[in-house]
Amino acid sequence: MTAHDLAAPPDLAGRLAARGYSVTMGSGAEALWREGAVPASDLADALAETHGLPRAAFAEVAQRRPLIGGLSLRFLRDARAYPFDDSGAPTAAIADPSDHDARDAMALALGRAPAFVVLSFEEIELLFERCAPEAPALDGPAEAADGARADTVEALQDLARGAPIVRTIDELLERAVETGATDIHLETGRDEVRIRLRVDGRLKVDQTLPKHLAAGLISRVKILAGLDIAERRLPQDGRANVRVGRVEADLRVAIAPTMYGETAVLRILIKDGRLLDFDRLGLSPRDRSTLERLLAEPHGVVVVTGPTGSGKTTTLATAMAALNDPSRKIVTVEDPIEYQIPGVHQTQIKPAIGLTFAAALRSFLRHDPDVIMVGEMRDRETASVGAQAALTGHLVLTTLHTNTAADAVLRLADLGVEPYLIRAALRGVVGQRLVRRLCDRCKASDPLAAELARGVGEARGAAAPARAAFHAPRGCAACGGSGFRGRIGVFEALRVDDAVRACIDDRPDPTRILAAARAGGMTTMLEDGLAKAGAGLTTVDEVLRATG
C-alpha cells in the first residue's frame, strides 16, 4: 500500500498503520477519505474497530426500509448518516462515528437513540443515490401551467421561483454532485423533459418529467446563471456559483433553442483546492517527474494536449496550483475560467469587445508575470506571441487539440510558428486521455486480458506489462451495474531534449519525434494505459477506446 503523510485521530492512525497506511495525527476521517489517502472501505473498517461498532454490509442495509420520512435529505447527507429499520429497531448507518454532533442529531430526529453501525463514506452516498426522485407537482392541470409559462416575463419568473421547480433543480444538483457527474443535460422533447447526467464520461438518464415543466426548469437555470429568461430564440451562455450541501461549485450554463423548446447543459466544477493535486491525476512516477521538471524550468512553453473532455484544464490548473506561491506572479487568459485559484490573476476573454487570447496575452506581458497560462492556442497570433513570451523569460502553459504529444510540434508549425521558435521555446508536451476506473467492489480477475494486452503491444510497438493482474468489470449496486466508478488519466510526457529538438525542422515529422522521445525514455499513452490495466485500475478495452 502507498504511504500518505496525512492526519488522523491517534487511535485511528494506529489502526490504519496496521493496514499499511502512514498517517499523522490531527484532522478527521472525512479529510482522509476526500484526500484519497485511504480507500473508503479500509477507512470504514478501521473506524468501526476504533469505536467498537459493527461494520455493516452495504447490501444488507440497502434492503432495509429507510427511516427518512419527514427528515431533510440534505441534513442526512451532511451528517453522513442513513437511518433505517432493522427488524423493528431504529438503526443509523454512519460514516464517521467520531462526529458526536451527527449522532446526537440522529437521536433527536428519530425521537430516541438508535443503534449505530458503520458504513463507508462512499456507501452512505450510494444509499442516498438510491432514493429515487419524484416529479414535482404543480397546482392546476398541466395545460394551465403550459399556457401560463411563456406569455410574459413575470409569468416565467413566477413559474421559475415556485417551490416545485426550485426544489426539483436543487435536488437535481444534489444528485449530480453526489454521483460525481460532470454535466447535467436538460432536454426538452416533444412530449417530455429528459434529464441526463454525464458520469465517468458516459451519459445516463436521471429522470423524465412532464413537458409542461420545461419552461419553469429552463427559466430557473437562466435565473441562476443571470441570463435573459425572455430570450428563447438565441443561444445563451452564463455562469453561476452554488452551494450544494457542504460543496461549493461553479456552473457553466449553455442554453440552446431546439425544435421542441430550449435545452440546457450545466457543467459542474467543484471548487475544492484539494482536487488540484498531482496524486489525483494518476500520473506514473516517470511522467510526474517529467512534468515537475518541466514546471521547474524558468522559461519556455509547456503544452498539454488531448481532445475535448480529456482533462487538459484540470492538469493545467493542478500545475498552476503547484507553482502558486508568493514569489511568483501567475496570470491566465481563459475561455472560460473553469477553476478559480486564489492568488492567480485570471482573465476571461471577450472577443466581442476585442479581448482575444492574443490581445490579453500582449497586455499581460507588461504586468511583469513569471508564469502565463493561455487556455488554448487557437490561431497563429496567439501561438507566436506565446512563443515570443517564452523567449523573453516567461514560463507559458497552454493547451492544443492534438491526438498525441508528438503531434503538438506539427500543430504549432501549422499555426505558423517558425521552426526556430519552436526549437528555442518548446520545453515539453503532455498528452492525455481519461479512462473509466474499475469498481473496486465488483471487478473480477481476467486472465485472458493479459494475452490481449500482449497482442496489442506487439501490434502497436508498445511494451505490455510483464507481470500484471488484469481485471474485468462485472457490475454491482455500488457502480450502478456498469462495473466502473470514477475515471483516471493515461498520459505521455515528452521532454524536448537535444534529440527531439534535432527533429524539429520546416515540416516536423511526428513519427521521428516520437522515436526520439521514446529513445529518451518516454512511455506512450497506450503503454501507460496498459500498465494501469495491468494494475487492475481499468481494462484493456477502455485503454483502446481512449487511445484509438
- Which of 207, 210, 215 has its CA nearest to residue 257? 215
Q: Is the pLDDT score of 154 beyond 50?
A: yes
pLDDT number for residue 185: 97
Q: Cβ distance 468 to 535 under 8 Å?
A: yes
Lowest mean pLDDT among 32-41, 446-455, 534-543: 32-41
Q: Read off the pLDDT of each residue in 320-325 and give the average, rounded to a whole number.
A: 92
Sign for the CA dihedral angle at 400, 401, 405, 406 comes to negative
Report the C-alpha gap between 79 and 109 in whole angstroms. 12
Q: Is the pLDDT score of 3 beyond 70?
A: no
More confident residue, 450 or 431: 431
pLDDT number for residue 495: 96
- Which of 79, 86, 8, 84 has its CA nearest to residue 50? 8
What is the distance, to the nearest Å, from the Cα of residue 418 to the centroid of all Cα atoms in its chain? 36
- Amino acid found at 350: K
Q: Is the pLDDT score of 139 beyond 70?
A: no
Question: Per residue in 27-67, pLDDT tens?
Answer: 578 777 776 667 888 888 989 988 899 999 988 888 888 88
DSSP letters of 401-467? --SSTTHHHHHHHHTT--HHHHHHHEEEEEEEEEEEEEPTTT-EE-THHHHHHHHHHHHTT-PPPSS
Sign for the CA dihedral angle at 258, 242, 270, 370 comes to positive
Q: Is the pLDDT score of 538 beyond 60?
A: yes
Residue 352 sits at φ, ψ, to 5 deg, of: -60, -25
Q: Cβ distance 93 to 79 under 8 Å?
A: no
Q: How far is CA 158 from each of CA 134, 155, 509, rounded to the nearest angstrom?
A: 22, 5, 61
Question: Per residue in 187-202, pLDDT tens?
Answer: 999 889 999 999 888 8
Report the C-alpha gap between 93 and 78 in whole angstroms. 13
Question: Per residue in 104-137, pLDDT tens?
Answer: 888 888 888 889 999 998 888 888 776 645 545 5
